[in-house]
Chain A
């Protein structure tokens, strides 16, 4: 089956630093990738839709200058949390859409746990 990887799986950083999270589709091409954030005991919250070769589309309330998204190839999207603060500590999950499937399918990555001190 389709596999999506994320790196790193967990990261601890100091307040004010930037953190880059990678999302890769390992055995299929993904024109579209999605970035989610999940706080404990809450649902996944869509942050942005990443489109290969074009600018990402951000959901309302998500700062595009703080959460930089780059979808440079059909298998890789990156999310950079700039000038991270403790309130950015969360579980970040990406998913990739397999365009070849008959019905809309998203494959989810394992998530990246970010802790900002």
Chain B
């Protein structure tokens, strides 16, 4: 079957670094997306990985290992506004999105 796993909730301190992991098993792979979603708002696109390796974009980086079915989102220099849910989604062989349940990230001062 198809499955995406990510932690339900994580807590981190302002100014620190946090890594949110996502593991997946899907029928085919056409890329992995990370979205940020603040409560009551639509998700915002953060990154797209289709090849193995690290993609860096400012304070956020996303890593992909297709052979391991694994990705992580790395957030550096955490700010209070980074408190949100982070969604991992896979585009499968039919170009359908399979969504993880999201990781709620709580930032403490």
- Give the interface of A toward B (CB within 8 A): 1-2, 9-10, 34, 36, 41-46, 93, 103-108, 110-111, 113
Contact = CB atoms under 8 A, between A and B. Distances in A.
A10 B42 CA distance: 23
Given A9-B96, A44-B35, A1 B43 contact: no
Nearest to B99: A108
Main secondary structure on A side of the interface with B: loop
A104 B96 contact: no
A25 to B, nearest CB: 13
Interface residues on B, range: 20 to 34
A103 B45 CA distance: 21
A16 to B, nearest CB: 25
Contacts, number: 42
Nearest to A4: B99
B40 to A, nearest CB: 7
A93 B104 CA distance: 21
A93 B44 contact: no
B79 to A, nearest CB: 20
B39 A43 contact: no
A36 B101 contact: no
Given A43-B42, A43-B45, A113 B95 contact: yes
B97 interface: yes
Given A42-B45, A104-B39, A104-B40, A1 B101 contact: yes
Contact of A105 (B48, B95, B101): B101
Contact of B94 (A2, A9, A44): A9
Closest 5 CB pairs of A and B: A43-B45, A110-B96, A46-B42, A108-B99, A111-B97
A104 B87 CA distance: 13
Contacts of A106: 37
Contacts of A41: 48
Contacts of B42: 34, 36, 43-46
Contacts of B94: 9
A103 B39 CA distance: 9
B96 A108 contact: no
